[in-house]
Structure 1
Amino acid sequence: MFLGDGMSVPTLTAARTLMGQRDNRPGEESQLAFEAFPTVGLAKTYCVNAQIADSACTASAYLCGVKANRGTIGVTAAVPRFHCVAAEEEQHQLSSIAAWALEDGRDAGIVTTTRVTHASPAGAYAHTAARDWESDADARVDCGTDAVQRDIAHQLVHSYPGNQFKVILGGGRREFLPDTVIDEEGTPGRRSDGKNLIEQWQVDKISRNVSYQYVWNRDQLMSAVESQPDYLLGLFEGSHMQYHMQANKTTEPSLAELTEAAIKALSRNEKGFFLFVEGGRIDHAHHDNLVHLALDETIELSAAVARATELLSEEDSLIVVTSDHAHVMSINGYTYRGGDILGPSDDLGDDGIPYMTLSYSNGPGYRPYSNGVREDVTKYDYHDIEFLAPAAVPLESETHGGDDVAVFARGPQHQMFSGLYEQSQLPHLMAYAACIGPGLHACD
């Protein structure tokens, strides 16, 4: 399962156009790798108490098959956000499709460009009343020193199903390290309980007499792909991984490289596997109105999917690509075919001032009028990756959108993913095709 966090339909359109224009074509006719999949559907993203969702309640939907409250992960809607005890009660906890795969004797893993404890990947393994409780220090802010619920990083290392994941690749070293420790690249740890969860992950593997490897840079990852340990933990940044366009290519693997490493590791299990891959920084760039980066991260997700299609047979491997929620970027104006997708519309406003083809309903790109006159943003270098696309309403962080999101499917039972349906149906459809988990199976 591939997830483009915040990958709205307009994001797909703009990203494919940019990809084509990078190859000196008009762009509109281009196709992201997964847009060639034979089946396309739409998923409704609202959550139990939210018309417009966040990445936490949606993770519960597309990984656990149940809609939940905004801000909560892996628990039913009986758990309010920030409740310090309820998520520990077993009757409120949800089981993910990763757990269903493990219970059938298959392997499981997660890959993300965010922290591995962030909302989306946490949906595969965590039960929490607050997505922000990534380390124990976070939980103590809301629940005090006697917090009952284990933080998300602790759950990944010590609780089922996270402690059984064969592959964990992404960012977020700081959530695993004590606040007295500085990591390999100078980021201080955030844990207040003194635990080094990276070391504890290694000790756990030693106790099981299995091979393992912890890596923190690209070269080490490439070596691990060759040596093929039983368990692989890769944490490549203190927090989120770098944007692709800003990344240090010698230390930072690409999403396609992470995906290939995970697939090669998990493919050793003859019964199969479940892998979750997230292009998580599409969302972050949108929140900051950094439209160039958002589109580039989408293109990087496409490259990762393309690599997966090369490594996995369409006959026996179901690949589903979707998003958790939309964003409020729009494509507007009456630009002629092949017009620069990052540039201004061919049209002018009624005030005679240009406007951009891509803009946001809200966010930090808002520019106040000067003497009642709108600013001409074409005076800036709008190809600069730090250019803030214009926004209509001033907000420190741009909001999500409530649009339906696209679902693309290839492989066994792909035709089931057509139509319009609840986001919470996705893991059940995947489980049906894979013959795992509760409910009916294709092989019954």
Structure 2
Amino acid sequence: MRYLIVPFIIYILAKTEGVLSQDEISKERSPEFWRKNAQDDLLIKLSKTLNLNKAKNIILFLGDGMSNPTITAARIFKGQNEGFNGERDSLSFEKFPTVGLSKTYCVDSQVADSACSATAYLTGVKSNYQTIGVSAEVKLNDCLASKVEKNQVDSIAVWAQNNGLSTGIVTTTTVTNASPAGTYSHTPNRGFESDVYIRALNQSLEDCEDIAKQLIFRDPGKSFNVILGGGRKNFLPNSTTNGNRLDNLDLIKHWEDSKLNWKRSKIMSKKARTKYVTDRESLLNVDFRRTDYLLGLFNRGHLDYHLDSKSRQPTLKEMTEAAIKVLQKNNKGYFLFVEGGLIDKAHHVNMAYKALDETLEFSKAVQKAVDLTQENDTLIVVTADHAHVMSMAGYSDRGNPITGIAGQVSNIDKLPYMTLSYANGPSAGQHSNRGLRDDLRNVDNIGEKDFQYPSLVPLQYESHGGDDVTVFARGPWAHLFSGVIEQNNIPHFMAFAGCLGNGLTMCSNDYK
């Protein structure tokens, strides 16, 4: 019965800490309060002028699975954790001047996965479900078709490197996972992160090169200045404690050895300075001024959830700061891809509390990038690859804990229900018996980080949602990202602002 006590304490604390103070209630009852708020926001918008500068730097932040309900719930979660009125709080990127919506479907699927969506928002071409860096001519597992050059599509990372920019990827998942792989890989199956997975499907290693190997041996991956995330197992032979590779390759050693003879730049004869790190302390102690290439693999697989990491691994904010400090030494600028990948992983197991916490970590990373850059020359775009099926429902009073029970009981079975719940997932049936819902007031772990929120349809893993996702933009040509756009427009718009690629850019004679 512990649940009956904890939420009551939280609710009282929320009231005493100002979430719903009497002063706040009094202000909100006045029409003038809302009129003044609206006029203040109007003046802020009117003071903004279009930024038509060239984007020297471009940072794309990707909240994997960061649906609109996730953003709303995380905003409230943040405010309530800080003792404020959560509904009127904001995540860092919600303050960006431009907001739009992105259509996320694949060529062959109404609901996207992270592979086809990564191909869209990084290469500018829509593709098939579970394929990366290839056109829709390539079907799932068609290795031969993926080798055909005309079927391979390059990402904005390639366009940036062709213009002399530095490049990097940062993620809380494996660096070979679908989203970061979209910057450098061409594969008919997102699961081919290591050769062991290609062999498991009896595919030819000559026809299909695994994603980790592409990152280390092929451009643009081998030329990335920064690679930070998880997935150490995909780079080491299975003869080692942490490895799973069957080809006996040590890709980490190859990365280190390959940089020994690299020059720092085309005009400098000095050798490139490299650093490989495996834990948070080592990353924080890197001398970024004297590091040209930085590789950090902080776990065998995905990084731990922020709530479980116990400071062994760097935060997304810390990795973002490290990446920018390495990349910003290039006077020509840089392109950086940053993914908060564990939002998605938490949703897939119906753990909304962890998904919201990971969203807050993502917001902190965006704010760090804002703090380290200038709006006049750095375009920052924040978006998601796809939605999830978490919903926010009920008619709770203001200040009701967002991770708790909704404010009303069902008028059918007279039992309470959660504010947050899922359309499907592994928790289906967990909170019911023979079709009758359990009384959640008797559940003792609600509000804890590992609580699995109720879902309707039983699935091994909760599915993605097909709804549009939000795009937030700040910096040069940010206004291009307004309205409802196709997801594959995103890299084309970024390239226009930074004068990259072969399409129309602000530097093109055709545009001028």
* TM beyond 0.5: yes
C-alpha displacement of 1:14: 0.2
Asked if 2 retains the 8 angstrom alpha-carbon contact of 1:225 and 1:265, the reply is no
1:206 aligns to 2:257 (yes or no): no
C-alpha displacement of 1:144: 3.9
Map of 2:285 onto structure 1:
223
Q: Please give the secondary structure, in 1, of the residue aligned with 2:259.
A: helix
Q: Please give the secondary structure, in 1, of the residue aligned with 2:462.
A: coil
> What are the Cα deviations for residues 67-87 of structure 1, in whole angstroms up to 9, with x where unaligned?
000010000000111112211
1:262 aligns to 2:323 (yes or no): yes
Amino acid in the other structure paired with 2:247: D
Aligned residues: 438
Map of 2:438 onto structure 1:
375
Map of 1:292 onto structure 2:
353
Q: Equivalents in 1 of 2:105, 2:490: separation in Å?
A: 14
Amino acid in the other structure paired with 2:167: A
Amino acid in the other structure paired with 1:25: F
C-alpha displacement of 1:226: 4.2
Q: Equivalents in 2 of 1:380, 1:413: separation in Å?
A: 50
Query: Structure 2 vs 1, CA of residues 225 and 3 (structure 1 numbering), >3 Å: closer, same or farther?
Result: farther
Q: Equivalents in 2 of 1:82, 1:322: separation in Å?
A: 28
Gaps of 5+ in 2: 1-59, 263-270
Q: Equivalents in 1 of 2:502, 2:444: separation in Å?
A: 55
Q: Please give the secondary structure, in 2, of the residue aligned with 1:207.
A: coil
1:306 aligns to 2:367 (yes or no): yes
Map of 2:169 onto structure 1:
110
Map of 1:344 onto structure 2:
405
Q: Please give the secondary structure, in 2, of the residue aligned with 1:2.
A: strand
C-alpha displacement of 1:367: 1.9
Match runs of 1:153-164 below 5 Å: 153-164=212-223
Query: Structure 2 vs 1, CA of residues 207 and 296 (structure 1 numbering), >3 Å: closer, same or farther?
Result: same
Map of 2:338 onto structure 1:
277
1:252 aligns to 2:316 (yes or no): no
Amino acid in the other structure paired with 1:313: Q
Of the three residues 395, 401, 405, the one matched with 2:459 is 395
Query: Structure 2 vs 1, CA of residues 146 and 235 (structure 1 numbering), >3 Å: closer, same or farther?
Result: closer
Asked if 2 retains the 8 angstrom alpha-carbon contact of 1:106 and 1:272, the reply is yes
Match runs of 1:28-427 below 5 Å: 28-144=87-203, 146-182=205-241, 188-208=242-262, 209-226=271-288, 228-249=290-311, 251-349=312-410, 350-367=412-429, 369-378=432-441, 379-427=443-491
Query: Structure 2 vs 1, CA of residues 438 and 396 (structure 1 numbering), >3 Å: closer, same or farther?
Result: same
Map of 2:9 onto structure 1:
none
> What are the Cα deviations for residues 313-364 of structure 1, in whole angstroms up to 9, with x where unaligned?
0000000000000000000010111111001111111211100000000001
Asked if 1 retains the 8 angstrom alpha-carbon contact of 2:288 and 2:325, the reply is no
Q: Equivalents in 1 of 2:259, 2:394: separation in Å?
A: 57
C-alpha displacement of 1:142: 2.0
Give the TM-score, by structure 2 length.
0.84
Q: Please give the secondary structure, in 2, of the residue aligned with 1:155.
A: helix
Query: Structure 2 vs 1, CA of residues 225 and 282 (structure 1 numbering), >3 Å: closer, same or farther?
Result: farther
Query: Structure 2 vs 1, CA of residues 372 and 361 (structure 1 numbering), >3 Å: closer, same or farther?
Result: closer
State which drifts further: 296-305 or 434-443. Answer: 434-443
Amino acid in the other structure paired with 1:394: P
Map of 1:25 onto structure 2:
84
Q: Equivalents in 1 of 2:279, 2:287: separation in Å?
A: 13
Q: Equivalents in 1 of 2:112, 2:336: separation in Å?
A: 23
Gaps of 5+ in 1: 183-187
Q: Equivalents in 1 of 2:203, 2:370: separation in Å?
A: 47
Query: Structure 2 vs 1, CA of residues 296 and 225 (structure 1 numbering), >3 Å: closer, same or farther?
Result: farther
Q: Equivalents in 2 of 1:88, 1:298: separation in Å?
A: 37
Q: Please give the secondary structure, in 1, of the residue aligned with 2:385.
A: coil
State which drifts further: 116-125 or 239-248. Answer: 239-248
C-alpha displacement of 1:227: 5.3
C-alpha displacement of 1:443: 2.6
Amino acid in the other structure paired with 2:369: A
Percent of paired sites with the same residue: 51
> What are the Cα deviations for residues 276-314 of structure 1, in whole angstroms up to 9, with x where unaligned?
000000000000000000000000000000000000000
Asked if 2 retains the 8 angstrom alpha-carbon contact of 1:26 and 1:339, the reply is no
Q: Equivalents in 2 of 1:395, 1:415: separation in Å?
A: 40
> What are the Cα deviations for residues 216-250 of structure 1, in whole angstroms up to 9, with x where unaligned?
0111111224453110000000000010011020x
> What are the Cα deviations for residues 161-185 of structure 1, in whole angstroms up to 9, with x where unaligned?
0000000000000000000011xxx
Asked if 2 retains the 8 angstrom alpha-carbon contact of 1:41 and 1:406, the reply is yes
Query: Structure 2 vs 1, CA of residues 372 and 136 (structure 1 numbering), >3 Å: closer, same or farther?
Result: closer
Query: Structure 2 vs 1, CA of residues 373 and 204 (structure 1 numbering), >3 Å: closer, same or farther?
Result: same
Asked if 2 retains the 8 angstrom alpha-carbon contact of 1:331 and 1:357, the reply is yes
